[in-house]
Chain A
Amino acid sequence: MYILVLFLPLLSAIISGLFGRKIGTKGAGVLTSSCMVISALVSCCIFYETVLNSSAAYVKLWRWFDSELFTAYFGLHFDSLTATMLIVVTSVSALVHIYSTGYMSGDPHIPRFMSYLSLFTFLMIVLVTSENYVQLFIGWEGVGLCSYLLINFWLTRIKANKAAMKAMLINRVGDIGLILAMIKILAEFGALDFSTIYSIMSLNEWGDVYSNSVAVNKDSLTIICLLLFLGAVGKSAQLGLHTWLPDAMEGPTPVSALIHAATMVTAGVFLIIRSGPLFEGSPFALTVVTILGALTAFFAATTGVVQNDLKKVIAYSTCSQLGYMVMVCGLSNYSTSLFHLMNHAFFKALLFLSAGSVIHAVSDEQDMRKMGGLLKSVPFTYTMILIGSLSLMGFPYLTGFYSKDLILELTYDKYYVAFAYWLGSFSALLTAFYSMRLIYLTFMTDTNLKKEVLTKVHESTWNITLPLLLLAFGSIFVGYLGKEVIISNVIPPMISNSVKVVPLILSLFGALLAFVIYDRVTRGTSWEGAKHRRGIRNFVRVNSIMNVRSSLSEEKFERNFVSSLFHIVYTFFNSAWQFNYVINHFIVSNVWKFGHLVTYRIIDRGILETIGPKGIAKVLISLTQTISNYQSGMVFNYALIMIIFTTLFISGASVL
């Protein structure tokens, strides 16, 4: 049964991929979905056995690497972390499979799509169930590969191609970190399987207490942890290597839901949680993790506020929530991070799939500025997206509340990273703001749709709405049901009531602010000249440039100055802190130039070729030309040469 959870997605991927023509569109959908559902049920059983009955299982399959000092088995490792991840991966994946059969209907390549989705799930399961780093690396690379295939699913689109390449390449930067970390681990520990590493790390702790000898010294642990974290940064889209995540929205929406909500981006967090004992040995690495996580949360939240693409808002929101998870990992609260990961998977999948439903309803329009007024037409999707958003902003008694508030509390408890707390709290405010903004612009404001589109807006078929409904139940109840199971070992910190309600109040304030501002925008355009609205109006200019009418009867100079200032700020946030520009302009283009000018032109075609084949050929040719010129055809020259060399020969012979 334990292998079945791994085997079924592989089977469905193979059948749907290789025999897609035989089983047809419908067959592929039914087959992959049912395999995935069975896999999800099996993972529920695994969860019951390993977590609730607390009996971890180890399945050793076969011996894989077998050299003198290093042996690695291909084995499966089911502990509570794996079981939780399995639940997340398989259930969200099963729902996404069902959803895709509806969402992708009409697409000519559904068997291929289903095959990729299943393969992706399989490799993610390989990642989470692996018992050593090498096997984890298979899954790690595999999900990168599948993300490439899936983002590039509509392979005729140049933007999809570029986005897929970007995702693959930026992930590869992180993968190098993971490879280097693996090499370093092998050098320090002599093993790559988790159980050995954990036991050596526990030796390390005892060594500190009882004698001065430790098994692994701190500096190399710090290096290992930083390299592992580099891997996690790439995969989990933390600040610096995050730029692939928003671009990856070029893929179909179910892909975004699967890759960028539930599975792939969580692999980085999973790696940190899995390597928790290593990170515990290195306080410096933990601090770095916290700082970068907090910065990511803040950065992505500020960027998400001003995005106009429906999916990009959610993508930045994912980035922000991943920042939370990484941040709390840095505070050594791995189970809280895992809990947030699980909850986040449910409500973020719900948000993505609902966004897909909206996009489906408005004839593939993704720009929020061109939506609006869908409340009456698609009330079900509205409800779903509202549940997802409320859960995301940590509304009490919904799923997000249980993990997000706990994360902020735990951050507050650690006095030395106080700024992480404030960044996190401000991100909570912004999260609420952009969630509300999304809902308002999509559903509540006056419609900006074309008439022919608006008349055709409709709810989707059952295989789109059913996953939404199930995920909505998940978004409501998973936090409450899971909190005793997963975070029972977390001791809530002692903090005063006033601090405890700060994130909640900030969230509610943010939501209210968004609502008020956008309400005023839509009505304020026809409502002129109120002095006390000036502040809000200027802020409005930041958030929705297109709604601003220059109808203010105020000083022109001040207005222009303020509006240009806000325009700069708006552009800065809208282009994601100019990260793409900076990276392209200062790194990528320079590397390209270096590659072309230095390594290709100067070294490869220049120096190496001059002293290599081309140069040798040139020298030899001129040499032979000179020598053969001695044979001039003139007999007297021949005679001279003969005499000279005979003389030399005779005199040389006499010398010898």
Chain B
Amino acid sequence: MYYEYLTVGVILFILGVLGIVLNRSNLIIMLMSIELMLLAIAFLFLINSVVIDNLIGEIFTLMVLTVAAAESAIGLAILVAYYRVRGTIAVKSLNLLRG
């Protein structure tokens, strides 16, 4: 009965992916897209947990939220450190390690 919400989750996830792939300007957008993907995943977990009437999905969602918070904290820290060194946060300038 909540199956239509699955589409919302998937669309959110795809939006997050496209945000990473198509974004060339700003690292913050990339972090936000990652957050969006995590959110979509958490949302999918919740829906599935409701659908199959199981608590594990919700527990897992709590853990994902924690991990997402920690991850965005570390990611923002890295971003700030990076900005201090380079003075810019453009994704295009992240190409020092070319093959």
A interface residue numbers (CB < 8 A to B): 628-636, 639-640, 643
Distance in angstroms between the alpha carbons of A588 and B48 in the assembled complex: 90
Q: Nearest chain-B residue to A644 (Cβ)? A: B21
- What A residues does B22 contact at CB under 8 A? 636
Q: Contacts A636-B91, A643-B17 known; A631 to B98 CB distance under 8 Å?
A: yes
- What A residues does B91 contact at CB under 8 A? 634-636
B interface residue numbers (CB < 8 A to A): 17, 20-24, 30, 91-92, 94-99
Distance in angstroms between the alpha carbons of A634 and B98 in the assembled complex: 8
Contact residue among B23, B96, B98 (Cβ-Cβ distance under 8 Å from A636): B23
- What B residues does A643 contact at CB under 8 A? 17, 21
- What A residues does B92 contact at CB under 8 A? 634
Distance of A259 from chain B, by nearest CB (Å) = 72
Identify 14 new A-B residue pairs, CB closer than 8 A, beyond the known A631-B99, A633-B98.
Answer: A628-B99, A629-B99, A630-B99, A631-B97, A633-B95, A633-B96, A633-B97, A634-B24, A635-B91, A635-B94, A636-B22, A636-B30, A640-B21, A643-B17
By the criterion CB–CB under 8 Å, are B21 and A636 in contact?
yes
Q: Nearest chain-A residue to B34 (Cβ)? A: A639
By the criterion CB–CB under 8 Å, are B24 and A636 in contact?
yes
Q: Nearest chain-B residue to A634 (Cβ)? A: B95
Return the 7 tightest CB-CB contacts between A and B, nearest first.
A631-B99, A633-B95, A628-B99, A633-B98, A639-B20, A640-B21, A636-B21
- What A residues does B21 contact at CB under 8 A? 636, 639-640, 643
Interface centre among B17, B22, B24, B95 (most CB of A within 10 A): B95
Q: Contacts A640-B21, A643-B17, A643-B21 known; A635 to B98 CB distance under 8 Å?
A: no
Can you report 14 A-B residue pairs in the complex whose CB atoms are below 8 A from each other?
A: A628-B99, A629-B99, A632-B95, A633-B94, A633-B95, A633-B99, A634-B91, A635-B30, A636-B21, A636-B22, A636-B23, A636-B30, A639-B20, A643-B21
Distance in angstroms between the alpha carbons of A643 and B97 in the assembled complex: 20
Distance in angstroms between the alpha carbons of A632 and B96 in the assembled complex: 9
Distance of B51 from chain A, by nearest CB (Å) = 21
Distance in angstroms between the alpha carbons of A634 and B91 in the assembled complex: 7
Q: Nearest chain-B residue to A643 (Cβ)? A: B17
- What A residues does B96 contact at CB under 8 A? 633
By the criterion CB–CB under 8 Å, are A634 and B99 in contact?
no
- What B residues does A634 contact at CB under 8 A? 24, 91-92, 94-95
Distance in angstroms between the alpha carbons of A22 and B30 in the assembled complex: 94
Distance of B38 from chain A, by nearest CB (Å) = 15
Distance in angstroms between the alpha carbons of A634 and B30 in the assembled complex: 13
Distance in angstroms between the alpha carbons of A636 and B97 in the assembled complex: 14
Distance of B4 from chain A, by nearest CB (Å) = 23
- What B residues does A636 contact at CB under 8 A? 20-24, 30, 91
Interface centre among A630, A631, A634, A635 (most CB of B within 10 A): A635
Distance in angstroms between the alpha carbons of A639 and B91 in the assembled complex: 12
Interface centre among B17, B22, B23, B98 (most CB of A within 10 A): B98
- What B residues does A640 contact at CB under 8 A? 21
- What B residues does A631 contact at CB under 8 A? 97-99
Distance in angstroms between the alpha carbons of A634 and B24 in the assembled complex: 9
Distance in angstroms between the alpha carbons of A635 and B82 in the assembled complex: 15
Distance of A515 from chain B, by nearest CB (Å) = 96
Distance in angstroms between the alpha carbons of A628 and B91 in the assembled complex: 20
Distance in angstroms between the alpha carbons of A629 and B24 in the assembled complex: 19
Distance of B80 from chain A, by nearest CB (Å) = 17
Distance in angstroms between the alpha carbons of A629 and B21 in the assembled complex: 18
By the criterion CB–CB under 8 Å, are B99 and A632 in contact?
yes
Distance of B41 from chain A, by nearest CB (Å) = 14
- What A residues does B94 contact at CB under 8 A? 633-635
- What B residues does A635 contact at CB under 8 A? 20, 30, 91, 94
Distance of B40 from chain A, by nearest CB (Å) = 14
Distance in angstroms between the alpha carbons of A202 and B36 in the assembled complex: 105
Distance of B65 from chain A, by nearest CB (Å) = 23
- What A residues does B23 contact at CB under 8 A? 636
Distance in angstroms between the alpha carbons of A633 and B90 in the assembled complex: 13
Interface centre among B22, B92, B95, B99 (most CB of A within 10 A): B99
- What B residues does A633 contact at CB under 8 A? 94-99
Distance in angstroms between the alpha carbons of A643 and B20 in the assembled complex: 11
Distance of A216 from chain B, by nearest CB (Å) = 73
Distance of B39 from chain A, by nearest CB (Å) = 18
By the criterion CB–CB under 8 Å, are A632 and B24 in contact?
no
Distance of B15 from chain A, by nearest CB (Å) = 13
- What B residues does A628 contact at CB under 8 A? 99
Distance of A253 from chain B, by nearest CB (Å) = 77
Distance of B89 from chain A, by nearest CB (Å) = 12
Distance of A637 from chain B, by nearest CB (Å) = 8
Distance in angstroms between the alpha carbons of A632 and B17 in the assembled complex: 19
Distance in angstroms between the alpha carbons of A632 and B95 in the assembled complex: 7
Distance in angstroms between the alpha carbons of A380 and B21 in the assembled complex: 111
Interface centre among B20, B21, B22, B23 (most CB of A within 10 A): B21
- What A residues does B98 contact at CB under 8 A? 631-633
Distance in angstroms between the alpha carbons of A630 and B91 in the assembled complex: 17
Distance in angstroms between the alpha carbons of A640 and B30 in the assembled complex: 13
Q: Nearest chain-B residue to A633 (Cβ)? A: B95
Distance in angstroms between the alpha carbons of A323 and B3 in the assembled complex: 111
- What A residues does B20 contact at CB under 8 A? 635-636, 639
Distance of A412 from chain B, by nearest CB (Å) = 92
Distance of B8 from chain A, by nearest CB (Å) = 20
